[in-house]
């Protein structure tokens, strides 16, 4: 019997205001233990699709399922135990410390009046260690650098102990060094813990190096879906971004690299 995909969207459509369909008949599957990249220009519906996958919005048509179970049949807490989200940016109105933010990920596992126990603390510390931020535990979140903040938020998502992690443009506001750092953290988490990931990104090279499969979204529809090597072609890139690019395998890393050459009109 074929294994149910970790996450599946079946013919989902969605609209915010009621006029324009932000997503139109989108179907995509995420195999267990894989890292799937979600690519597309701004306004293509990437963030919306992530919201639907996380269950924070309900599709107009179609269904989202997690390991075969429809998302709408699960309570918020149950969903949170199965899927964690790393948003693009995290702003804290108050002065929480890094470990306090990581501990927030334990909410779905605790009762309404239950305080974190030693197990929760251990999970939280472990999550910080996994993202290389153990030393930042007592530091105020607001004082951390961009890369440190993102790693702490990833640790918070890890503390949710979910099988699936959704990341919305995790490297968008980071400089080059942090971009590589986050990429390596994610790769390691996937290898060591088998965490299934869906990463939406603008960074084609990040997608190429990190993701085993890609979903290309254009104007709310799936342009292409499949293994990275198959999907990340020059013609797809031209179709998606209007950019003429060289796609080749890099001699040193052995991975697919994309070099944009110019705009296509």
Q: Which is nearer to another protein, 117 or 260 (CB)?
A: 117
Q: Which is nearer to another protein, 106 or 218 (CB)?
A: 106
Judged by CB under 8 A, the residue of 20, 76, 188, 263 near another protein is 76
Q: What backbone torsions phi and psi does residue 148 show, to the nearest 5 degrees? A: -65, -40
**Residue 19 interacts with another protein (CB under 8 A)?**
no
**Residue 21 interacts with another protein (CB under 8 A)?**
no
Give me the least distance between CB of 135 and another protein, in Å please: 17
What's the CA gap between 263 and 265, in Å, rounded? 6
Tokens of 106: 């334990």
**Residue 222 interacts with another protein (CB under 8 A)?**
no
Q: Which is nearer to another protein, 88 or 239 (CB)?
A: 88
**Residue 93 interacts with another protein (CB under 8 A)?**
yes
Q: Which is nearer to another protein, 76 or 263 (CB)?
A: 76
Residues numbered 27-56 forming contacts with another protein, rule: CB under 8 A: 51, 54, 56
Give me the least distance between CB of 76 and another protein, in Å please: 5
Number of residues lying near another protein (CB under 8 A): 38
Give me the least distance between CB of 199 and another protein, in Å please: 16
Q: Which is nearer to another protein, 141 or 241 (CB)?
A: 141
Judged by CB under 8 A, the residue of 10, 15, 33, 107 near another protein is 107
Say if CB 64 and CB 53 are below 8 A apart. Answer: yes
**Residue 17 interacts with another protein (CB under 8 A)?**
no
**Residue 113 interacts with another protein (CB under 8 A)?**
yes
Which residues have CB under 8 Å from 136's CB, separation 6+? 98, 128, 144, 148, 152
Candidates 28-36, 98-106, 208-216, 237-245; binding stretch for another protein (CB under 8 A): 98-106
Q: What is the binding site for another protein (CB under 8 A)?
A: 51, 54, 56, 76-77, 79-81, 83-85, 87, 90-97, 99-101, 103-105, 107-108, 110, 112-113, 115-118, 120-121, 160
């Amino acid at each position: 019997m074929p294994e149910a995909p970790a996450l599946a969207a079946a013919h989902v459509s969605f609209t915010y205001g009621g006029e324009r369909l932000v997503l139109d008949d989108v179907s995509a599957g995420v195999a267990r233990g894989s890292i799937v990249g979600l690519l597309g220009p701004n306004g293509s519906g990437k963030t919306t699709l992530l919201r639907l996958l996380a269950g924070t919005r309900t599709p107009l048509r179609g269904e989202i399922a997690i390991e075969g179970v429809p998302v709408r049949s699960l309570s918020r807490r149950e969903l949170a135990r199965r899927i964690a989200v790393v948003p693009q940016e995290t702003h804290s109105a108050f002065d929480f410390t890094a470990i306090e933010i990581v501990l927030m990920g334990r909410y779905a596992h605790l009762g309404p009046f239950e305080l974190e126990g030693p197990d929760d603390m251990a999970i939280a510390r472990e999550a910080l260690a996994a993202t290389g931020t153990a030393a930042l535990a007592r530091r105020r979140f607001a004082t951390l650098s961009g890369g440190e903040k993102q790693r702490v938020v990833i640790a918070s998502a890890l503390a949710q102990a979910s099988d699936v992690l959704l990341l919305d443009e995790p490297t968008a506001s980071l400089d080059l060094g942090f971009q590589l750092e986050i990429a390596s953290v994610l790769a390691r988490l996937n290898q060591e813990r088998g965490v299934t990931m869906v990463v939406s990104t603008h960074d084609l090279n990040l997608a190429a190096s990190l993701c085993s499969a890609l979903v290309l979204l254009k104007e709310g529809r799936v342009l292409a879906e499949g293994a990275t090597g198959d999907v990340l072609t020059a013609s797809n890139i031209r179709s998606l971004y209007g950019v003429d690019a060289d796609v080749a395998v890099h001699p040193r890393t052995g991975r697919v690299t994309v070099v944009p050459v110019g705009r296509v009109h």
